[in-house]
Amino acid sequence: MRTKLTEAQIGEKLTAGWTFRDNMIHRIYEFPSYAHGSQFAAGVGLLAEGMDHHPDILIQWRKVTISLNTHDAGGVTDTDFALAEKIERLREHGPA
């Protein structure tokens, strides 16, 4: 089982654009169109599936909100930050 991080540990690990609230880390990404956001969300889904770790993904017009926590740990863990890092790389460089 993964170990839940404290709020202080989470605060130290948050990178630009990510916030912590409601026991999850969140980030909103903006896109030029709904289709671009949907493609990004699909890429996040593939990354998540590969890690067996599944975020909440909200797709809206020109925005995608990613929310991460580790349900079986009851909060945010290092696994959430590892997936967040992969999501950041996906956004910056596209699918590998």
Mean pLDDT by 10 residues, the chain (96 residues): 91 95 97 96 96 96 97 95 96 74
Instruction: Name the strands in the sheet holding 24-30, side by side, starting at the edge strand that comes first in the sequence.
Output: 19-21, 24-30, 63-68, 56-60
Locate tokens 């909440």: which residue? 56
Angle at 10 between CA 76 and CA 27, to 5 degrees: 75
Structural Rg of the chain based on CA atoms: 13
Angle at 37 between CA 31 and CA 84, to 5 degrees: 95
- Note if the pTM is more than 0.85: yes
- So what's the pLDDT on residue 95? 61
